[in-house]
Amino acid sequence: MLHRKVIITAALAGAGTFKNQNPNVPYTLDEFAEEAHECWKSGAAIVHVHPRQDDGVPTHDIDRVKATYDAIRDRTPELIVNLSSGWAFGTTTEKRIAQILAVKPELASLNTNTMNFSIVDRKTGRLVFDNVFENTFTMLQDFGSAMEENGIKPEIEVYDMSGIDNALLIAKQGFFSDPMIFNFVWGVAGGAAFRADAFVAMMHALPEGALFTTCGVGIEQFPSVTQSCLLGGHMRVGLEDNIRMPGGELAKGNYELVEVAVKIAECLGREPATPGEAREILGIKSS
């Protein structure tokens, strides 16, 4: 049975989106706090956060991560804050998990495989930036178990079917709590492009009782979240993944992308979950 409530996440900044692309990408503590608040007012229950220094450089510095988290929670205590355990400039494996365990958010991302993670000009195919995103089985195991032991719900990030298989293999150790939460990520150069049939195949590969949300890079954002909502899943939008509105104009903020997600949900007979309802659906304790 389709759950009427849909959880909308706003991914506020990411590690590769900057003000020269869209001036509304948040950098400072005040900008993060205000962006998060506007997203909550527009219908988001969760904000996904890659903290930045004031100059926009992504960081895993514990003090800055904690300050960003606190600024958001102080401004909008209702919100669920999902911190990233992903890549940032000059990061190490130890720093990636240390900042999560120091802050102990309710949710944190957990990546599932080592992969190319690059920027390619979609029109010309020319390489803009090239990187390998390291996520070994050891990291999947150690990050996941540490999160669960500290009361942090992992959001399992999968960029193709292999990510699900990797997570399920590690899950045999028994430390993942139910329901497992998966995020299907589409359109990263190095991951899978969005295809409706691939989405359905991944959905059917999930274990019984698992939840899924999705996000898409650039023009893949709105088709992918529409399919997720249609199939009973949840939705992630935001300037981390896409800087433009459906008509092509720059979004005035993450909140405008949340407003589009809300309209999509309403057209499909669903309505945004409040943060409290989202905690109940996701199986995380109230904060």
Residue ranges of E strands in 35-192? 46-49, 80-83, 107-111, 115-116, 119-120, 127-129, 132-133, 153-158, 181-186
Q: What is the pTM of this model?
A: 0.97
Q: Does domain 5-282 have CATH number 3.20.20.190?
A: no
Domain assignments of the chain as residue spans, ordered by start: 5-282
pLDDT tens, 133-172?
999 999 999 999 999 999 999 999 999 999 999 999 999 9
162 vs 69, 159, 166, 205, CA distance in Å? Answer: 31, 8, 6, 10
Among residues 129, 81, 130, 132, the alpha carbon closest in space to that of 109 is found at 81
pLDDT reported for residue 1:
47
Per-residue CA distances from 121 to 109, 115, 118, 132 (Å) = 26, 18, 10, 17
- Please check the confidence at residue 247 and state whether its pLDDT lies above 50: yes
Q: How confident is the model at residue 215 (pLDDT cuts 50, 70, 90)?
A: very high
> pLDDT, tens digit, for every residue of 31-58?
999 999 999 999 999 999 999 999 999 9
Number of other residues whose CB lies within 10 A of the CB of residue 75 = 17
